[in-house]
Each structure stands twice: as structure tokens, then as C-alpha cells.
Structure 1
């Protein structure tokens, strides 16, 4: 409702005021100007004005990508771009790359989009926001047609900045960022843990483990070496992390040469509290990245041009060798002291498999990863108008190389503790001293554990001309690439031969045709090549004569597209497994399946070979509408439908197990997906105030039509007809109140049930509860079906703010995190939240079941008790800034622009998960919020 009111006010403001023609100090142009000027890249050397585009493309400009103080451009575009679903994964600074989907989940194979940097597939995590000109989200068949096998799931195209003729500019920026963990876990203290264990054992019919004296000792802290009470979270981690970002940009050019150079240095120190406990080295979680980009453009002759792109990246991560968060989710406060009275690191035989988190953070040294990458490409283009007006030729060669060196400098340490004995006269005694001698020197090994290289070559002829009312752009192109990764038989070769034509009539009727032949070494002989045709059209209604009087309408365009995009996705890493019969040496007797194992060697047949293999295909349909109103408001809407066919699936449901071999993979899967996305952007200068606002929403749904599903005993078990990633589980109908309730209910077969255990619905009506009672519950936990955002901004005389909110809906989580929700399982601890919400005889309206000291298969099934609504609304970005006035800068003579800013990132989240973050939950680094102070100066 608020968003509707905002947009209504924006329309009124547009209608009342004259259009702003010039750019304002924020770098945002008027909406109509920006809409008309932005080019769409539909392939190397093919740029079409957005007004003429027939494709479904959303544009994220540099005006909004550098407002978040992010490590890379991937995190800068969170919540931006209609049709793009972007989600955070980890709170670790070195591993914060989001998960991307273009139009949600689309296939049983993969739904990951293609990422391109300057037209070549490259890592988005290496790109700094300041070096980016724009990010395009390519959504329909017309937008991705020329990218071949890899673009069936859409694409993200990052375009970096270039220099300008006859200019010279130097820019410097610095960000200092403070980071804070969101929803840091809280586990119970030692006394509460001991009480919880006793309660769990009582529930299981066992005797108490801890006496009253021991519980009181945990609570009083009088005997810290016998009865410790350690807050492992706060002893292992500090409350804040710090990052620094230094950027230097040099750009410009002369009459025949242009350059853009961008240098970045990023450093981060994480949350380890005891990082400097040793002389000579630190165990802090650290990340350091240095990168340099050089983009060059040279007019070699009047008709010959050269373009060069170079980027080098060096990054280094170091930190403890153990997963500290997994440890603090495991070790109870009562387990052992941090150190014994004699200075020995704490540890006991009870938790011998669980390491001391503080010891691992301070006393086990560190490991380090060095990543190195170099990306390069050069393009030569030749104007051949001397042969034929409008004819050009181009050739591009690119080579990228990356590697990672792992250094192991970790070590082990002695550990132990005192074992409590009997209490005598109100005082504890020592039963024994437990000690493990395991100390070692720091490791010195190093190895290259990852390597990747990519070679790219393309050559093409381009023709562009205008004949009266007719305009034509046509391109004939050949692409070739190979990529090679660490391991044997990992090299993949791909080729594309394409013909693309863009035709316009009277500047208001446009049609595109793309015919693409693609080949891939991943596919079986006889199926390596495929043909992908795409057609699309657009009608610029606003240029019709009957719209001449609609002065308020700057642009109204209707477009539609259809295309077949082929894919070379495969069901696993071993390409050849699915095409030819395999022979495996193992097993003493002939097995019925490949899961048979034996000590004796024998050759047997593995999975059946695939008969008539093919490749996955995407049939994409799209209709869209673009409008620009009053010179300040842009609107866009797209509706789409896609049928994905010939998806690789296991054919277990087609063959009987009596054949004695695993069923083959076959190209038989079918998935339908459909949805819409809508966006609105407003930009207006009213007097001295510049106003900006925007909103977007997308809904992405899908259904599995065919997957060769094995026959099911009951309809509730059938997964075909449901969505990709659908969660399946049991329907909880409460908790057993007493033994009589258990006796009068259907038998639950997972384990012996007791009062306080979860009671399930007998969905199939067979009188017992087992896995046959599972049903579809909630939505997918991979990607939300609903994704939306809202942005607001204003600037007055250089003082301004910008805010971006982003949210999701129709999104589910399964709360199965150890200790946080499943307390005490496998001798772990329990969170304060799980303890307070457990079932007891006095709290039968609890949220979660009774405590168990032993494995409880009945309660720890996937079920609706553990199902949570994962939807959220987050304040992704809040920036408050001040552009220093021109008069003050003119006095300095050498500074043309200066900006001071304060930025907040992910400052709050409104969601349904009380103690976890809906984007990333589990025994892992919590997501962070951050505040950054910065300065940007242009000389």
C-alpha cells in the first residue's frame, strides 16, 4: 500500500513539473533519458538501443551498483534487477558470493545462470563495483540466443568501464567498514545444560547424569576446572570485524586512444577473538585482495580499432584450520575448561571427537589459501565500408588462467582436564587427570589444489545500414572456447556458429532473428551439435501517428519472443558414465547393483548405458511491455512461460531391479516454469531536490511434468506434478500427551514414542505412521517464488540518502540445525531458544518436542514442526552522503568532485525466524550487518 502511494505521488510530480534534461549530481539521469540511452548487448560487438530491443532485459547501472560498500559486484546487485533472484550464503567475508537465479528454479539439472564479464564467461566475485559500467540481466530466449549451450538458465552480463576521448580523470575512494554478526547463536550455560541432560535422560527412562551438587557447582562457578561454565561463542569470537577498501581510478584518452585503469586493495579482519595469542603469526580470519584492471581502446587507423581488456587478481585468505562455528555448535558449556589450572588446553574423553574451539582458534596455528587469476582479451575490428557500406569485421582472442595454492601451517596441541570424583563433605574430589599428548610443530606443506584455464576465440562479420524507412543490423559469427579445470578428462570444448539480424521499420517496428548452431564435447557422439532458433519482435506504439498528441508518453513498447535454447548439462562429473557401459573392478560375487562391495576383486557391469542420448532443451516464450511516462517514470512488465524438456533423469521408475544393474540415465525429464516480473523507476529533479524511487516484483513458479518417477504406493508420495525443490515431510498434528494418547493413536514406526514426542497424521490411512505418510509441505528451500524490492532516494544541495529494501515470499526452511533446534543430539549442546520452547509436562503447548538424550528418529524426521516460513524483508542498503559544493572545490583548483558518505548494509531483517537468519541458517558463520564510512574524490 505504501509503495502504491509513493508511485502515485511520483506520477503527480512528473505531470506537474517539466522534464529534467541534464544529469544531476547523483549521476542519475531523467528516467526517459536513461531508458532511451542504455544499450543492450546481445553478443560481442552487438549493441542495440534499449528503445529498439525486442528482448527481456533489465539494466542495473553504475549509479546504484557502488552504494553498498561490497567486496565485489555480486554483492552490490543484491535486490536489484527485475527477474534476478539473489540470495546471500555466508557471513564469512571471503565466501560471501550470493546465489543467483534468473526467473527462479527452471530444471531438474541446474538453474544457475551464465555469468559474463565483457562478453566472456568469468567469475563475478573478482569484479569490484567501481570498475563496473552496468549489469544486464538477460532473461528470455532473445536475450541469450547467441550464448549457446550455457545460457538456458538466463545470463548476467557485467560490462566494465572504458575511457573517454580527450579527457583525463583521476579518482580515489576509501571505505572503512565495521561488521557485526546478526543473530549470533546463544547456547545455554553449564547448569542449564546439566539440567537439560537430566531431563532428557529422565524422558528416556534413564538415571540422572548430574547431581544437584554438580549443577550448583556449574552455576556458582566455584570450581571452574572441575565444573566449567564456558560461553564458547563469546570466548571464541569477538563482536566485530573490520574491512578497508582502497580504490584508485585513472581514465581518459586523447584523439585516438582511451584508457581506464582501476586498482583495488581490500583487507578484512574477521571475528576470531584470540587471534594474536602467539608470537610471530595471527590466527585471525583474514582476507586480502589486490586487483588491477586495464581497459584500452586504440584507433590504429581511421578504419581499424583495437580493444584490450586485462585484469589481474591476487587474493589471500588465512585462518584457523578447523570450522570454529561447527565446534561452538557442538561443545556444551559444561564440557571442559578453556585451559586447565596448569595451562593445558581443555579437553575430555567424553568429547574426544570435539575439539576445543578456543584452542583451535589460538593454539592450532593456521592455514592459508593464495588465489591468482589473470584474464585477458584483445579485439580487433576493421571497417570494411570501402567494400560495402556498413560492413565490419572483428576478431577477438581471450585467455584466462587461475590457480589456488594451499598452505598448511596448522599444528596440534596437548589437551586434557580433571575428572570429577565423589563429593565429600560438600566438596568435590578429583577422580583422575585426563591428558592427551599430541603437540606437534607447525606444518610447512603447500600444494596447488585448484587450477582453471579458459581460451576464447570469436570472429565475425557485421553489417549495419539504413534504407529509407528500413534499418538493418546483421551479424555472422563463430565462437570457439575451451575450459580446463583441475583433474583428469576435465577439458570441455564448445563452439557456436550464429547468424543474428535486427530489422527496424520506420523506427517503430522491430524484429530479430537468431539462428545458432552449437557444439559441445560434453555430449555424446552424434548429439554434440544442436540448432537453436529464436524470433522476437517489438512495436513502439508511442511513435504511431495516433499517439502524437500524448505528450506525456515518452515511450510505449510491446514486445514478444520465442526461442529454443539447448543445453549440455549432464547428471554428474563423469561425462562418459551416461553414454557407454561401464566396467568396475570390485566385489567377490556378481552383485545386483553397483552398491555391492567386497574384499575380493572382480569385474562387473555398472550402470546401464544410455540408449539414444540427447541433450536438454528450453522452449522459452515471453511477452513484455515497456513504458516511459512524463519524462521521469519508467515501467516494465514481462510474463513468461518455459518448457524444459529432455532433462537427464535416472530411469529407476522405468526399469525393474531384477535386471541386476543400476538403471541408466535418460533424457526424459520435463519441467514447466512460468511467472511475471514488473518494475517501476522514477527519477525527477524538482527545484533543488532530486527524487528517486523504484519498485520491482517477480513471481517464478514451476512444475515437474515428467521425471521417470518410480511407481509409488500412495498418491501423497508422488512428486511429479509438484515443483522443483519442493520439500517433503510428515504432517505433525501435535505432541503425544500421555501413554493413553499413544495407545489410541496409529503406531509410529520410526522409534518408540513417549509423551512429548511428535504425533503425525496417518495420511494414507493404513493405520501406521512411516515414510509412506510423507506429503509436500511448504515451498522450496532453494529459492523463493516471490521476490521484490523497493528503493527510495533524495538529494538536496549535495546532501542526500539512498535506501534499498528487498524481500522474499513463498520460501521455506527446514530447521534441522544441531544444537540450535535439535538440542543434545549426538552429545551436542542446546540453544537457549530450543530449551525455552521444548515440551514438558507443564508446557504441553510447546513449539518443539521433548528433550531426548539418545537418538530420536521419530522427532527428527522432516516434518511441519521443523518447517518455517523463510520469507523476509531486509534493509539491504542505506547510504547518507554529502557532495561537497562546487564553489568549495573550485577553490582547491585540482579537485572536481568530492563525496563523503556513511553506508549501512543489511541493517535489519523482518522475518519469521527468531534466532536464525532466513538467508543462511545452520552451524555456520552468521550473516553480518555493517556500517562503512567513506570518501570519494575526483581530481
Structure 2
């Protein structure tokens, strides 16, 4: 907390300093180097540059422009649509770094309306200065700042409703019981449910005795739930000081409406502000602060989880008191003592194995609130050193980010009552009741799951920028950069530290050369290998400035090429060591339960791994080429980038490099094989962004198409395989491996003649697999590569139509080439699991020719329920992500009022999906459903 106080004190100090310097020098007196900043439009690593000088591997989104025509609650909601190169990853690399105003932070703690610009830094040359942990790409977010002018107030407000797309469809009680009996018969077991019970459940004559519990019923779920938001922005300033502040609140309810779940909500309140000050004609300063209060309240019930597991015939949530036999006063008294009678009904808990139910939990189990508090502060000083050397600046930044989370709430126990039913004269009554548990409220609020995260950022740099003879433009930077994150539960801090150097030159904004290099330092590596050298070189040529293209169709045509090597420690990690420290060291521990006679009664010594003093960084080796430009007076704008990149030196414990006696197999197991740099991954592809702008009469049209295609390949692996088709080398990195199916076994004769199935005993109706190696048995050696689970081709399409005071905006995303696996509980049914409607397509001797699902079983799903192409599907799809209509009130209507601007909008999100497997893609199992969102809103400027 002391760092928070330091930040607040520094803010106050800066404000005090401003009051003493505001009357000194006007902003116009700042030296020529400041004018270069006014040309800067795009934020790149540790500086901003004019967009015409932007080299390849960088894309930018103007969020101010986007916010005028499209609303989103996600700060990165437009990134995969408006520009190319992003598909949940950057050029196929996950673990991208998010930078907010130069500080390492979370993207979800910045709302879209607060953002001025988002820069997607993709190429190695674009990210190298940020250090090793930025090696897989950077998303740089620049928030809004104050501008010179009168006080300006923007008010945003909107409200909307989420509606579910679809729900899973499960079988009712009678059909489930019938099919469960069939499954037992398939396993050679007796029926579990009598035909009389099945009939009674099907008839619905007494739903309390013979329940058909549907957790997706409208009795428990709303048709829609609300999200509302209100935000205020205040900005303005003078030549001496500029300020911007925003505050807002949103609240989102829940789809559930049973018991305390009706009060479920998520809320977020925040305050963000910044100030830019000219402390002296040579010194400018910035100070930023943000505070966020996030709360998520819910009743203590796992409603959505139980929808996938709780079978419908087991539970009746409530039973009317009127069913209790009039002479059974003991049962009636027991129920009447309950604290949770609801409209003359009492909780029914089922059996001793199922003493509670989700409805009762929703009413009586208590509640919980997830609490998150986050404080952020950063400051920057720019010192103009032009009196020493024209064009020289010193810049320093410091920032802190403190976040804490915990759960608070009450956990209660409650009584449930399982009835014993009888039938007298054709009427069902409860003859006796068994009570499980008792009503108890401790009255003590529980605090649990406390966690914190603390990050600090610091950097200092010397910048030199100058122009000689009006033709030669030079820029140089010397940089020191570091950030560190401490998390609760982690002994080691996540650290990024590096030095950087950049030298850039362009001649007449025609010929460009850039040399950027970083020198990272990582304590994950052994002494002697902790420092590395990461060089990148970029060349650019603006052909549009050449005489041979003076009168061509091109307004601008920038050709770029870049090569580079980045040393990174992101991949210095292991499954048993997430932080990745000391992986180069030997690990020796006590092992085994026995001891040697000469070991003094001590247990055996066990090696977990050996020593590797030569372990080094994983290297990103990359070549890129880019072409950016515009044609026919900006009728067409385009940006295309080709990339080929290798991640060289991934860690493995290589069995092929060491003799087999380095590993002891048996108990206790032991190995002195160390982690070594070995694996190589390659990603090759291109991204693109093309925009067409056309005015037709009074209508302005803009059509944008962007996207990315890439191929990922395992180029080198440590493998010990008998069959070549099992090799990962040459295969996609993100893929499914499994068996190749050959339909269902038709009869016992076919099973007898087929290769031996090693995944349990098989029967007619089970899936038959291909024997890839012809060894007469089906096992893991018969697995093959089935397909990529990610989409190699992703494209975003957006359309803007402006007519007078109306603006129409629509965007959608296309995904091609990916696959999914139907491997959740909705499809993989066995044992006592809940049955979905898919079970209706099961194999039986009568449906053998048409069945699309294996036979049902209660004892053996090992053969059928495993990764294979039987369950795979193509997830090619087009999503209509957003449609919005905005109306801006004409200025002549507002003239003479205090309102400077007023606009209204209506939008809809996730409206449509076009896909062969749309039902599969739109359905969530065991979690809240996917939704569409419809809302109305307005923005006023005063």
C-alpha cells in the first residue's frame, strides 16, 4: 500500500508544481523538437511516429472514430475485425503482452470509451524494444488525454438485454429411464426402473412423486436479463495544463430467477484521470491514475454446472404440504419447523445420496460476492535537452498497478425432507418423511480466496530526433526498461528487464532504414547465459515518392522488409514448474519407502532432473515483408504483411540425446536427463487489411476486409516413435490426435474377425477403429493427426454507411479450416451420466443402418468415448458480430442551447451465425448460455 500512497503524493506534488509554474512560459515557446510530437499519430514502442513513416508489422485502430459509429464493452472488441494479424493471438503466437499508456497492464481494465488508439505490434522489429516477454507480440493501448479548450463534458448512457441463443436439450425422466434400462441391457444387467415407474413419470399425473425436473424451465430462468451503463467524461485545458477524467458505472443482472439468484449481479465502478503539465519550458510531466471497484454477487449454487449432470427423475425441488398424511403430525411438525417453507411447499432432497438440490441451494445455501479492487498510477517526465544538443530529449516513466481480490459471503446449511409415498384409494399421499441435515445460519461472514498482484514499471530513455538539409531525418534512442509482477502464491516474480537501442533514418520520407536491438537479462537462465543480444533490421521504400510513380494510381506505396532475432524467456517453463526458475539446475530429493543398509536408515536418493549450464533463451527468428499504400485518392487503402517465424530452442528432456541408463524406470523412478533447448516451431503466413471508400450522392460508403492466414508447423521434436505417422514433425502445432473410425461393429462375428480392441470389451454398436500399423490390435500406436483445432484463416468484414445524420455500421467474422471435438458430457454419455437428445440416435440392432451414435452403456465407455474422428467436426462459420444505427442530432437544432452534440444509437450483437454445425457452436454445456445483446443508448456533449 505504501506505493499507492507514494503515487497519490506524487500527483499532489505535480499539481502543486503546476500552480507555481503556470504563469511562466507559454506552450508556444517550447523548442522545435516538440513540434515533431504534434505530427505523431501512431504509438509504437516507447515513442509515437507519423503514420506515413510507419514501417511493416504494425497496425493501428482509431478508437475515437470507431466509438462514433460502434459501441462495444470489450476494449479489444474490434481488433480481430478492423485490422489483420489477430485471431486471439498475434501471427499465431499466444501470450501477447498488453501495454496501457506504456505500462504492462490488463486490457479488460480499460473500457473502449477511454481509449484513443490501439496499436497492434506484430513483427519482431516492432516489439524488440519491449524485451523478452514481449517477443510474441504486443497490443499497445493509448488512453484519451485532455486537449486545449474549454471545459467539455461527455455523457454516455445505454441499456440493453441479453437473450439466450440456445439451451442444451436433455431427455425427460421417462425417456431417460427407458434408455438407461436399455444401456444396462446392453451391458448384460437387469433393468433399473420398472415399466410402472416409467409410465408414472411419463404421465405427469403426480410430478411431485414422479418428477421430471427441467433446470432450463421458464420457472427458473428469465427470457432476458439487463445490462445498464452510465459514463461521464470531463476534459479541457490550457497551454499550461490539460486534463481528462472519466467515471462510470455498469451493472449486469442474471438469467436466473430462483431464490437468491434473482439478486445475482456484476457491477463495476471506476474513476480514471490524467493531467499533462508544462512545469517549465524545458520540462513537461504527465500523471495518470485509475481506481476500479468490481463486484460479482451470486447465490451459493452451481446452477449451470448441475444442468449437465443432475438427472431429471431424481429431484422434486418443492412438495406441497397438502400431500402429508393428516394423521402424521410428526412429519408435519418436522416440515413446519423448517425456515424455508415457500408458498405452502417444503424442500425435497431426494435420497441419502442426493440430499440437496440446486433450487434449495438457491434459496438457502447462502451467498458469495467476488470482490476485486484495483489501483493504477503512472507518471512521465520529458526533459528537453536541446540547449545541450538540438533534438535531444530525456524521458522517464514510472507506474504501479496493485490489484487485490477475495470472496466474501455466508455459507448456510439447511434441512431437506425425503418423503415416503403411499397410495390410498387411488390418491398419492406422504406416509412418512426422512429429514436430512438441519437449518443452520452461522451469522459469520466468510472471507476466502484472498489474492493480490502487484506490478511496477520503470523506464528511462534518451531520444534524439533531427532533420538535416530538409532531407535527412534521423532518430536515435537509448533505453533502459524493466517491469516486475508479484503474485500471491508465487515465490518468484515475473520479471522483464532489458536495455534497448534504436537508430532510424529516412531520406525525404522515401528510403527508410531502422536498426533496433535489445539486450535482455533473465534470471531464469544459468549465470553466463542471462544476457543476450536481440537485433532487428528493417528497410523501407516509399515508391509513391519516386518520379516513375508521380502520376500513377498510387497515393502512397510503402514496401518494407525486416529480419530479426529476439531472445525470449516466455517459453523457459515446464509443466511442473510454471514460473520456469532453476530449470537448469539438478533436482535431488528423498524417494522410495525403503533404505539401503549402508545409508543409516535413510530412504533412497532420487534424481528428478540433471544439470544444464548451457541452457539459453528461446529465439524468435523472423523474416517479414510488407506492402502498404493507397490508390485513386484514397479510394482503396491496403496493408499486407508476409511473415515466416521460427521459435527455436523450446525446452524438452531429450531422450534421444542421452543414453537410456540416464533414466531409472520403476519405483522410485529417477532421471538425470536435464532440460535442453531443442524444439523448433515455425509459423508462416500473411495478414491483410483492405478498405474501399466511396461517396455516392449523399451516401459515404466504407467497406473493410481484413484477416490472417497462417500455417504452424513442428519443425523439430524429440521423438522416440516406431511409426512415421505418429511423428509430430511437419504437423500443425494446434491439432487433434486420435483414432480413425470405421463405423460401428455390426455383430460378434465382425468383432471376432477385427483387430483386438484394447480399450475395454467391445460389443455390437461400439465404434470400430482402423489398425494403422497392421499389428492386429487397436491401441495408442494407431493414433493419427485429425486436424487443427484453431482456424488457419480468419477474416473480418465491416461496412460503414453514412447518410446525412445517420450512420449504419455492421461487422462480421469469417473462420475457415478449423475443427472442434464433440467431447463434453452432452455427447460423451456413459455410466450414470445425464442423457441428451443425441442418445435418440443410438445404435440398436433395429437402427444399425441409420444410427449415428454408439450403443448406450453404463459400464464401459472407454472404447467409444475417446478422441477420434468420429467426434470431430468442422467449425467453419461466419458470425454477424454487430449491427448499429446511429443518429446525430443536427447542429442547427442544437444551436443556442448548452448542448454541443447529441446522438442516439441502437445496436445488436451476435445476431447471426452461418455454419453447418451452428447448433453445436452456439450451445454451451455446463455453463451459462451464449447470448445475443440488444441495446439503446445516447451520447451528449456539453
Same fold (TM over 0.5): yes
Deviations 1:295-317 (A, max 9, x none): 21111122211112211111011
For the pair 1:256 / 2:240, whether they are aligned, the reply is yes
**Distance in 2 of aligned mates of 1:125 and 1:208:** 53
Alignment of structure 1 residues 132-143 onto 2, 5 Å: 132-143=115-126
Structure 1 counterpart of 2:57: 56
Structure 2 counterpart of 1:668: 678
Q: Which of residues 216, 222, 225 is equivalent to 1:238? A: 222
Q: Is the 8 A contact 2:133 2:496 kept in 1?
A: no
Deviations 1:499-537 (A, max 9, x none): 112210122111111121111233332222211101101
Per the alignment, in what secondary structure is the counterpart of residue 781 of structure 2? helix
For the pair 1:492 / 2:499, whether they are aligned, the reply is no
Structure 2 counterpart of 1:769: 778
Q: Is the 8 A contact 2:129 2:518 kept in 1?
A: yes
**Distance in 1 of aligned mates of 2:769 and 2:90:** 37
Per the alignment, in what secondary structure is the counterpart of residue 588 of structure 1? strand
Q: How much does 1:324 deviate?
A: 2.0
For the pair 1:816 / 2:823, whether they are aligned, the reply is yes
**Distance in 1 of aligned mates of 2:693 and 2:352:** 64
Q: How much does 1:868 deviate?
A: 1.4
Deviations 1:329-357 (A, max 9, x none): 0011111111234544333347539x522
TM-score between both structures, scaled by the size of structure 1: 0.88
Alignment of structure 1 residues 651-690 onto 2, 5 Å: 651-652=654-655, 654-655=657-658, 656=660, 657-658=663-664, 660-662=669-671, 663-690=673-700
| Structure of higher RCO (CA pairs closer than 8 Å, 6+ residues apart) | 1
Deviations 1:809-838 (A, max 9, x none): 1211111111x1123x34221122x12332
Q: Is the 8 A contact 1:533 1:564 kept in 2?
A: yes
- Report the count of equivalent residues: 861
Structure 2 counterpart of 1:294: 273
Comparing 162-171 and 342-351, the one that deviates more: 342-351
* Structure 1 vs Structure 2 CA RMSD: 2.5
Structure 2 counterpart of 1:285: 264
**Distance in 1 of aligned mates of 2:280 and 2:749:** 93
Alignment of structure 1 residues 450-461 onto 2, 5 Å: 450-461=451-462
Q: Is the 8 A contact 2:740 2:784 kept in 1?
A: yes
Alignment of structure 1 residues 620-635 onto 2, 5 Å: 620-630=622-632, 631-635=634-638
Structure 2 counterpart of 1:30: none
Q: Which of residues 814, 830, 839 is equivalent to 1:835? A: 839
**Distance in 1 of aligned mates of 2:152 and 2:846:** 72
Q: How much does 1:363 deviate?
A: 2.4
Alignment of structure 1 residues 300-699 onto 2, 5 Å: 300-342=279-321, 343-349=345-351, 352=354, 356-418=357-419, 433-441=433-441, 444-447=445-448, 449-468=450-469, 469-550=471-552, 552-569=553-570, 570-571=573-574, 572-585=577-590, 587-589=592-594, 604-630=606-632, 631-652=634-655, 654-655=657-658, 656=660, 657-658=663-664, 660-662=669-671, 663-699=673-709
For the pair 1:213 / 2:196, whether they are aligned, the reply is yes
Structure 2 counterpart of 1:916: 920
Q: How much does 1:328 deviate?
A: 0.7
Comparing 410-419 and 668-677, the one that deviates more: 410-419
Deviations 1:741-799 (A, max 9, x none): 2223222121111121111111111111122111000212xx32111111112121112
Q: How much does 1:602 deviate?
A: 6.7
Deviations 1:367-402 (A, max 9, x none): 111111111111111111111111111111111111
Per the alignment, in what secondary structure is the counterpart of residue 319 of structure 2? coil
Q: Is the 8 A contact 2:104 2:483 kept in 1?
A: no
**Distance in 2 of aligned mates of 1:626 and 1:303:** 37
**Distance in 1 of aligned mates of 2:221 and 2:595:** 54
Q: How much does 1:38 deviate?
A: 7.4
**Distance in 2 of aligned mates of 1:927 and 1:84:** 23
Per the alignment, in what secondary structure is the counterpart of residue 873 of structure 2? strand
**Distance in 2 of aligned mates of 1:412 and 1:71:** 38
Q: Is the 8 A contact 1:884 1:898 kept in 2?
A: yes
**Distance in 2 of aligned mates of 1:812 and 1:49:** 42
Deviations 1:452-488 (A, max 9, x none): 1111111111111111221001111111222211125
Deviations 1:275-320 (A, max 9, x none): 44xxxxx664311101111121111122211112211111011213
**Distance in 1 of aligned mates of 2:677 and 2:49:** 36
For the pair 1:272 / 2:251, whether they are aligned, the reply is no
Does the C-alpha gap of structure 1 residues 728 and 417 become closer, same or farther in structure 2, counting only changes over 3 Å? same
Does the C-alpha gap of structure 1 residues 791 and 488 become closer, same or farther in structure 2, counting only changes over 3 Å? closer
**Distance in 2 of aligned mates of 1:717 and 1:418:** 57
**Distance in 2 of aligned mates of 1:168 and 1:716:** 69
Q: Is the 8 A contact 1:283 1:362 kept in 2?
A: no
Q: How much does 1:684 deviate?
A: 3.6
Deviations 1:408-429 (A, max 9, x none): 32323223433668x9998889
Deviations 1:195-218 (A, max 9, x none): 121221122222222222211211
Q: Is the 8 A contact 2:524 2:583 kept in 1?
A: no
**Distance in 2 of aligned mates of 1:718 and 1:416:** 58
For the pair 1:103 / 2:91, whether they are aligned, the reply is yes
Q: Which of residues 798, 801, 805 is equivalent to 1:794? A: 801
TM-score between both structures, scaled by the size of structure 2: 0.87
**Distance in 2 of aligned mates of 1:267 and 1:698:** 36
Q: Is the 8 A contact 1:647 1:668 kept in 2?
A: yes
Structure 1 counterpart of 2:327: none
Q: Is the 8 A contact 1:669 1:707 kept in 2?
A: yes
**Distance in 2 of aligned mates of 1:135 and 1:500:** 22
The structure number with the bigger radius of gyration is 2
Per the alignment, in what secondary structure is the counterpart of residue 192 of structure 1? helix
Q: Is the 8 A contact 1:67 1:903 kept in 2?
A: no
**Distance in 1 of aligned mates of 2:921 and 2:67:** 24
Does the C-alpha gap of structure 1 residues 590 and 43 become closer, same or farther in structure 2, counting only changes over 3 Å? farther
Alignment of structure 1 residues 173-212 onto 2, 5 Å: 173-212=156-195
Q: Is the 8 A contact 1:581 1:609 kept in 2?
A: yes
**Distance in 2 of aligned mates of 1:549 and 1:574:** 58
